[in-house]
Structure 1
C-alpha cells in the first residue's frame, strides 16, 4: 500500500464520488436532520482545505479543515473507504489538518460527529481531542458527539 495525501479540489469527479459515498454512509447512521454535510461546492470555498488520500491513484479517503475565524477551525468530512479502514489513513489526514491549523495560528479545533461512530471517536481521542458540549452553531442533539482540542501557540 502506497497511500499518499495531498490537498485537492473537492470538485474532482473521483472526490465527488467519495463524498457521495460518505453521505450515504452517514445517512444510514443518522436521521437527515442530524447530518451536517458540507457539499462539495462548500468544500471548494476559500475557507476550506481538503486533503485526499489515494492508494496508487485510487481515492480512498478525505478530510477537511474549515476555518470559522482566526482562532477556530473545524474538522469536517473525515472518511476512509471501508476496504482501507484500520490502516491509519484517518489518523494521517487528521494529522495534516492539525498541522495546517497550527501553522496558521488557529487556537482551537472543533468537530461534530455522530453518536454511532466509535471508530471516529477513537481517532479523535487518540489525537488529543476531548468531548465537549455543542460547538459553533450546532444544536444540542442526541445524535451528535462534539470534540475540541486546544492547539499549541503558532
Structure 2
C-alpha cells in the first residue's frame, strides 16, 4: 500500500530520492544540467513529501513559495519501478492541498522537454502551459505550467 508522508528537506529519504532524481536529470538535461541544478537546492525546503510502498521510499515532491499567492512545485520524482501506479498524481494532489492549506492560490512549475512523463502528468492534472517564468525565460528546453487552486 502506498502512503505519503509530509516532511521537509531534513528527511533522509527525501534527500536520497532527490539524489536519484538529480542523477536522472543529469542524463536528460545534458549540457544544461548545471544551469538547472543551481535552482534545485533542497537545503531549505519546508514542505516536502515522501511516498512509501510499505517502508520503501518510492517518490518525492516539494513546494516552495514563489510569491505570496503562488507555490512552486519542485523535486517531483518516482523511482522507475513504481511509475505508472498513480504515485506522482497522488503526490501532486497532496502538494496542491497543502498549498491551499497554507493560503496559496496557485501552483507553478518548470519541467524539461526531455521529461515527457512529467509533461503528461501536469497536463492530465489540469496544469496549463504558460510562458517561461523567472530564470527559465530564455531556456528553450523548459516548459512551464500553472494551475489555479480551488481555495
TM-score > 0.5, shorter chain as reference? yes
**Which residue is equivalent to 1:86?**
84
Select 2:64's aligned residue among 36, 61, 66: 66
Give the TM-score normalised by the residue count of structure 1: 0.88
- Aligned positions of 1:1-154 closer than 5 A: 2-30=1-29, 31-36=32-37, 37-43=39-45, 48-152=46-150, 154=151
How far apart are 1:34 and its partner, in Å? 4.1
CA contact (8 A) 1:60 1:84 kept: yes
CA contact (8 A) 2:9 2:44 kept: no
Give the TM-score normalised by the residue count of structure 2: 0.90
How far apart are 1:121 and its partner, in Å? 0.9
**1-structure distance, mates of 2:126, 2:61:** 17
CA contact (8 A) 1:26 1:35 kept: no
Q: Give the number of equivalent residue pairs.
A: 148
Structure 2: 5+ residue runs without aligned partners?
Answer: none
Structure 1: 5+ residue runs without aligned partners?
Answer: none
